[in-house]
């Protein structure tokens, strides 16, 4: 801390669970306050998309953050760009924008430094309670097609890794601007933030084609990795208030299949209940691998699940696998309801045999599924291997989730496909459990920077 630029050029203060910092350079002054688990505060950096990114730290990291930038003693306003506004801004060419925006670089630097120093102050209290075994926290956050991995360890030696470029695929070299936010300064902001916060920080794009998504997923991933780190340092206590049981059920009858699904998200007796009592899973679809996939997923998600299907497997396994996945996905969406108070995002990995798969889940209400599983066989345990992807995709989109499946290791030869399918089901279940858990600290509010997942 003592060596960071924010300390040399500004002031850093902290009280339990909170920190604030002021940094100044020339006519530009930035003041940041962070209160761990604190209330929402206004943010005015002079760059509106940057304010929106700070909102991601607030809603996904459960941090009260206020950033106020002033230029020549005049405070910026929360929804106003410091240089250009409205139609003039949209009409301007990149060259004109660069010319007309003399303070962009300084703003990114100062916001990064002030935020990093204030975060350091806010984290100090939790870190002072940390067990000696506290290690790095990692989180993979999706935003539609994009996924960013963040690793945070505030007690580790200084280490910074950053790989987000290019910012999108259209144009092929990536976007230069998101609104009036210059994407190239994203690295600078995080470098400065890390310089003031210290420790180990890694921000790596795993997937992404849309610049807005890539940058926003990064702020979400960092926020959630930091939250996980602070919670590991000082575990939250208290139990969620008892709420109505979250259940969903669907019956579906067509010429091809007759299906009934009943699903309950919360084990009777709450999360602490013994797993063997809490989880009752029966899946009978007539397709063996499908039964195993759903049973593993439900067990790892700590859900109760009953599925029965009488399907036209004499034609093919396709109708049964697809329709069952749709019905389970719809039941899951019913059970999750508005998602208010939920943790919302989860990422987990799991193994089966030689296969290791990571699954990232967001209860986003924006259905999206991506997978890089390398499924090379035609059949696995009574189901066509192409149906493995179709089952997970149908489940995901009908549950209104965003899901990314990332293959970490695979065997080859006989059985590789079934191993990948089961590893995926387990990781999906683990990640789904993280998403579905009610965090009492959210007090029933939705974990979203736009305030709702229902609209």
Ligand X SMILES: O=P(O)(O)OC[C@@H](O)[C@@H](O)c1cnc[nH]1
Q: Which stretch binds ligand X (CB under 6 A): 91-99, 212-220, 405-413, 432-440?
A: 212-220
Window 84-123: contact mask with ligand X (x via CB under 6 A): ----------------------------------------
Query: What part of residues 41-60 is at the interface with ligand X (CB under 6 A)?
Result: 59
Q: Which is nearer to ligand X, 281 or 399 (CB)?
A: 399
Q: Which stretch binds ligand X (CB under 6 A): 98-106, 208-216, 303-311, 329-337?
A: 208-216
**Applying CB under 6 A, does 40 fall inside the site for ligand X?**
no
Min separation Cβ 224 and ligand X, Å: 11
Buried b (16+ CB within 10 A) or exposed e, 74-101: eebeeeebbbbeeeebeebeeeebeeeb
Q: Which residues contact 232 (CB under 8 A, 6 or more apart)?
A: 130, 134, 135, 137
Min separation Cβ 446 and ligand X, Å: 8
Min separation Cβ 54 and ligand X, Å: 12
CA dist., res. 346 & res. 348, Å (int): 7
Helices (H), 234-303: 275-278, 288-300
Peptide bond into 120 cis (omega under 30): no
Q: Residue count at the site for ligand X (CB under 6 A)?
A: 8
Q: Which is nearer to ligand X, 108 or 219 (CB)?
A: 219
Min separation Cβ 56 and ligand X, Å: 6
222, 179 in Cβ contact below 8 A?
no
Q: Which position among 194, 212, 227, 304 is part of the footprint of ligand X (CB under 6 A)?
A: 212
Q: Which residue has the tokens 């303070």?
A: 103
CA dist., res. 395 & res. 387, Å (int): 12
Structure tokens at 213: 């998504």
Q: Across-strand partners of 151?
A: 138, 202
- Please give the residue whose beta carbon sits closest to ligand X in the complex: 448
38, 18 in Cβ contact below 8 A?
yes
Q: Which is nearer to ligand X, 376 or 450 (CB)?
A: 450
Structure tokens at 259: 């299906």
Q: Across-strand partners of 150?
A: 139, 203
Q: Which stretch binds ligand X (CB under 6 A): 210-218, 382-390, 411-419, 431-439?
A: 210-218
Min separation Cβ 449 and ligand X, Å: 4
Window 435-454: contact mask with ligand X (x via CB under 6 A): -------------xxx----
Q: Residue 64 in 3-state DSSP?
A: strand
222, 152 in Cβ contact below 8 A?
yes
Q: Across-strand partners of 147?
A: 142, 207
Total residue count of the chain as it appears in this document: 455
Query: What part of residues 141-180 is at the interface with ligand X (CB under 6 A)?
Result: 143
Q: Which position among 216, 317, 349, 370 is part of the footprint of ligand X (CB under 6 A)?
A: 216
Task: Please give the residue ranges that form the binding site for ligand X (CB under 6 A).
Answer: 59, 143, 212-213, 216, 448-450
């Amino acid at each position: 801390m003592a060596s960071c630029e924010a300390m040399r050029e500004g002031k850093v203060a902290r009280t339990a669970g909170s920190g604030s910092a002021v940094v100044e350079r020339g006519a530009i002054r930035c003041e940041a306050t962070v209160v761990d688990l604190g209330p929402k505060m206004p943010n005015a950096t002079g760059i509106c998309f940057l304010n929106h990114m700070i909102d991601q730290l607030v809603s996904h990291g459960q941090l009260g953050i206020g950033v106020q930038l002033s230029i020549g003693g005049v405070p910026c306003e929360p929804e106003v760009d410091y240089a250009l506004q409205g139609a003039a801004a949209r009409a301007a060419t990149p060259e004109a924008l660069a010319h007309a925006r003399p303070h962009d670089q300084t703003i990114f630097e100062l916001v990064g430094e002030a935020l990093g120093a204030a975060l350091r102050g806010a984290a100090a209290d939790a870190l002072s309670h940390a067990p000696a075994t506290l290690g790095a926290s990692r989180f993979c956050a999706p935003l539609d097609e994009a996924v960013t991995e963040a690793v945070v360890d505030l007690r580790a030696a200084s280490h910074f890794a950053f790989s987000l470029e290019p910012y999108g695929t259209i144009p092929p070299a990536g976007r230069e601007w998101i609104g009036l936010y210059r994407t190239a300064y994203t690295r600078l902001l995080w470098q400065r933030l890390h310089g003031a916060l210290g420790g180990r920080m890694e921000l790596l794009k795993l997937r992404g084609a849309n610049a807005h998504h890539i940058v926003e997923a990064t702020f979400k991933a960092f926020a959630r990795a930091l939250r996980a780190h602070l919670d590991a340092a000082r575990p939250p206590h208290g139990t969620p208030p008892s709420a109505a049981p979250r259940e969903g059920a669907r019956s579906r009858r067509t010429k091809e299949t007759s299906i009934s699904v009943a699903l309950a998200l919360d084990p009777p007796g709450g999360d602490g209940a013994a797993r063997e009592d809490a989880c009752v899973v029966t899946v009978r679809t007539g397709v063996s691998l499908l039964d195993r996939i759903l049973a593993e997923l439900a067990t790892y998600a700590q859900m109760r699940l009953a599925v029965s299907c009488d399907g036209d497997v004499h034609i093919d396994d396709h109708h049964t696998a697809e329709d069952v996945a749709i019905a389970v996905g719809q039941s899951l969406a019913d059970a999750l309801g508005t998602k208010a108070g939920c943790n919302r995002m989860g990422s987990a990995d799991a193994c089966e045999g030689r296969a290791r798969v990571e699954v990232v889940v967001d209860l986003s209400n924006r259905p999206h599924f991506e997978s890089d599983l390398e499924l090379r066989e035609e059949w696995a345990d009574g189901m066509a291997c192409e149906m493995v992807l179709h089952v997970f995709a149908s489940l995901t989109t009908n549950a209104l989730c965003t899901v990314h499946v990332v293959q970490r290791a695979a065997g080859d030869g006989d059985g590789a496909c079934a191993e990948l399918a089961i590893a995926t089901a387990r990781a999906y279940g683990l990640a789904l459990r993280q998403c579905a858990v009610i965090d009492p600290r959210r007090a029933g509010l939705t974990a979203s920077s736009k305030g709702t997942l229902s609209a």
